[in-house]
Structure 1
Amino acid sequence: MGDRGEWLRAQGARRRCRSGPQVSRWWFPVLGAAGGIAYAIKKHRAVREVLPELRAPWLYLPTPVPPLLPWPAVNRGAARAGRRLMRRQTRVRNGVALERRVLDLTAGEVALYLYEPPQRSRPSGALLWIHGGAQVAGHPEQDHDLCSMMAEDLQILVVSVDYRLAPEHLFPAAHEDCYAALRWMHEHAADMGIDPNRVAVAGASAGGGLAATVAQHAHDEHLPVAVQVLVYPMLDDRSTLRADGGGRGRLSLTPALNRYAWTSYLGHHPTEADPGRYAAAARRSNLRGLAPAWIGVGDLDLLHDDAVVYAHRLRAAGVRCELHLESGMYHGADAGPTSTAASMTAFRARISAAIGSATAARPC
Structure 2
Amino acid sequence: MTSKQMKVSNLHPQVQKQVARMPTISLRSPLSRMLMKLVMAIAFRSQADANVRRHTVKLEHVSVRVYEPVSEHAGAGMLFIHGGGYVMGQARMNDPDCNRIVRELGMSVVSVDYRLAPKHPYPAPLDDCYKAWLWFLDNAELMGVDPSRIVVAGQSAGGGLAAALCQRILDEGAPQPAAQLLYYPMIDDRTATRGDLTPVRHIAWNNENNFFGWSAYLGHPPDDGSEIPRWAVPSRRPDLSNLPPAWIGVGDKDLFYGENLDYAERLSKDGVESELEIVEDVPHGFDALAPEADISRDFREASFDFLRRRLGIDS
Same structural fold, with TM-score higher than 0.5 when normalized by the shorter chain: yes
Q: Bigger CA drift: 313-322 or 263-272?
A: 263-272
CA distance, structure 2, for counterparts of residue 181 and residue 358 of structure 1: 22
Shift of 1:52: 0.8
1:348–1:249 distance in 2 versus 1, CA, 3 Å: farther
CA distance, structure 1, for counterparts of residue 168 and residue 4 of structure 2: 42
Structure 1 partner of 2:59: 103
CA distance, structure 1, for counterparts of residue 50 and residue 92 of structure 2: 15
Q: Partner letter of residue 359 of structure 1?
A: L
Relative to its length, the structure with more helix (as a share) is 1
The structure number with the bigger radius of gyration is 1
Question: Could you tell me the TM-score, scaled by structure 1's length?
Answer: 0.80
Structure 1 partner of 2:158: 207
Q: Partner letter of residue 187 of structure 2?
A: L
SS in 2 for 1:86: helix
CA distance, structure 2, for counterparts of residue 82 and residue 339 of structure 1: 20
Identity of aligned residues (%): 35
Q: 2:77 aligns with which of 126, 139, 164?
A: 126
- Runs in 1 of length 4+ with deviation above 4 angstroms? 246-249
1:234-284 C-alpha deviation (Å, 9 max, x unpaired) = 010111111122886521111111111111111111025542011110011
**Mind listing any 5+ residue stretches in structure 2 that lack a counterpart?**
none
Q: Partner letter of residue 99 of structure 1?
A: H
Q: Partner letter of residue 238 of structure 1?
A: R
**Mind listing any 5+ residue stretches in structure 1 that lack a counterpart?**
1-37, 69-74
Structure 1 partner of 2:217: 265
Structure 2 partner of 1:89: 45
1:161–1:78 distance in 2 versus 1, CA, 3 Å: same
SS in 2 for 1:66: coil
- Are 2:102 and 1:151 equivalent residues in the alignment? yes
Confirm or deny: 8 A CA contact 1:89 1:143 kept in the other structure.
Answer: no
Q: Partner letter of residue 77 of structure 2?
A: A
Shift of 1:111: 1.0
Structure 2 partner of 1:116: 68
Q: 1:287 aligns with which of 240, 250, 253?
A: 240
Q: How does 1:302-313 map to 2 (within 5 A)?
A: 302-313=255-266
Q: Partner letter of residue 351 of structure 1?
A: S
Structure 1 partner of 2:17: 56
Confirm or deny: 8 A CA contact 1:46 1:250 kept in the other structure.
Answer: no
Confirm or deny: 8 A CA contact 1:65 1:260 kept in the other structure.
Answer: no
Question: Could you tell me the TM-score, scaled by structure 2's length?
Answer: 0.91
Shift of 1:198: 0.5
Confirm or deny: 8 A CA contact 1:274 1:283 kept in the other structure.
Answer: no
Q: Partner letter of residue 304 of structure 2?
A: S
- Give RMSD over aligned pairs: 2.2
1:60–1:331 distance in 2 versus 1, CA, 3 Å: same
Q: Partner letter of residue 349 of structure 1?
A: E
